[in-house]
């Protein structure tokens, strides 16, 4: 299926590694010119060079802290200048939820909740606010927000709040921007194979003497009983970024290999 993405222009925040990097790669392989944004300039430049060599597309690195509204506006202005416009925004810039972090009421302090909400929910709001006028003016666009299946489980107060916040933001944007031809969706990955997870499992395997595959299998509690790879999440996002996805907006798409038991409708 031709996704009709050739020549489109995208910003992917959090694009230097993990799911964001996989999404940038998938979009570029479909012919999209991509700006990747993240806070660490050196790692970002290296990622952009690697993606450009691999895909043959323009992949630009613009260091950005999405916690800073001025930096976000500069990101969008530079993208429009360098690429001649903007068609797609993928919000993926967020700190991963760390194993072992406090999950109970007593251990949940104000600072943690504020930090998680600012990085993920307000960060996504800032980028969407800066991009939306360009998309509505041209009468077409896509915004895809990467959240997480923590939105559907009470694992911890900060994690659930930030992920549900992204879902609420998505629906509000979809209803407002839809009449102007802009689709907005949220994707909920579950546990995903990224560089970070691979490094963690490698360390655990070295300590235990068991294989990485065995450790990964221990974590695979989804319907498929295997860990979903970042590239597989990227495939879902790439479809949602395309004109082919016009029938989907304002909704949450789970990309975690299925949750056994509950019925979501």
Give the model's pLDDT for residue 215.
85
Q: Which domains, and CATH codes, for the chain? A: 9-191+230-255 (3.40.50.720), 193-226 (no CATH)
What is the structure's pLDDT at 100? 62
Are residues 12 and 30 in contact, defined by beta-carbon separation less than 8 angstroms?
A: no
| Residue whose C-alpha is closest to residue 131's, from 171, 177, 194 | 177
Angstrom distance (rounded) from CA 14 to CA 27: 14
pLDDT (tens place) for every residue of the chain, 265 residues total? 899 999 999 999 999 999 999 999 999 999 999 999 999 999 999 999 999 999 999 999 999 999 999 999 999 999 999 999 999 999 999 877 655 667 789 888 898 888 889 889 999 999 999 999 999 999 999 999 999 998 888 888 888 999 999 999 999 999 999 999 999 999 999 999 988 888 888 888 888 889 888 888 888 999 999 999 999 999 999 999 999 999 999 999 999 999 998 888 7
The answer to pTM > 0.85 is yes
**Using CA atoms, how far apart are residues 28 and 22, in angstroms rounded to an integer?**
10
**Structure tokens given for 132:** 């939306």
Closest CA to 28 of 81, 105, 88: 88
């Amino acid at each position: 299926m031709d996704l009709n993405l050739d020549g489109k222009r995208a910003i992917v925040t959090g694009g230097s590694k993990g799911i964001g990097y996989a999404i940038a790669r998938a979009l570029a392989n479909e012919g999209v010119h991509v700006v990747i944004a993240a806070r660490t300039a050196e790692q970002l430049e290296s990622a952009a060079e690697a993606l450009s060599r691999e895909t043959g597309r323009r992949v630009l690195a613009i260091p950005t802290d999405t916690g800073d509204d001025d930096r976000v506006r500069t990101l969008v202005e530079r993208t429009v200048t360098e690429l001649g416009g903007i068609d797609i925004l993928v919000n993926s810039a967020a700190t991963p939820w760390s194993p072992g972090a406090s999950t109970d009421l007593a251990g949940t302090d104000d600072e943690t909740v504020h930090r998680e909400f600012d990085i993920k929910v307000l960060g996504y709001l800032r980028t969407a606010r800066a991009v939306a006028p360009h998309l509505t003016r041209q009468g077409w666009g896509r915004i895809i927000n990467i959240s997480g299946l923590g939105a559907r489980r009470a694992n911890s107060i900060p994690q659930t709040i930030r992920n549900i916040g992204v879902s609420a933001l998505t629906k509000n944007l979809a209803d407002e921007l839809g009449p102007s031809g802009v689709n907005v969706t949220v994707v909920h990955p579950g546990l995903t194979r990224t560089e970070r997870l691979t490094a963690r499992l490698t360390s655990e395997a070295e300590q235990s003497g068991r294989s990485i595959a065995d450790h990964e299998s221990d974590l695979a509690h989804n319907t498929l009983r295997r860990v979903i790879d970042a590239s597989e999440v990227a495939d879902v996002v790439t479809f949602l970024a395309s004109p082919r996805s016009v029938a989907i907006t304002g909704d949450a798409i789970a990309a975690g290999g299925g949750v056994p038991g509950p019925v979501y409708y």
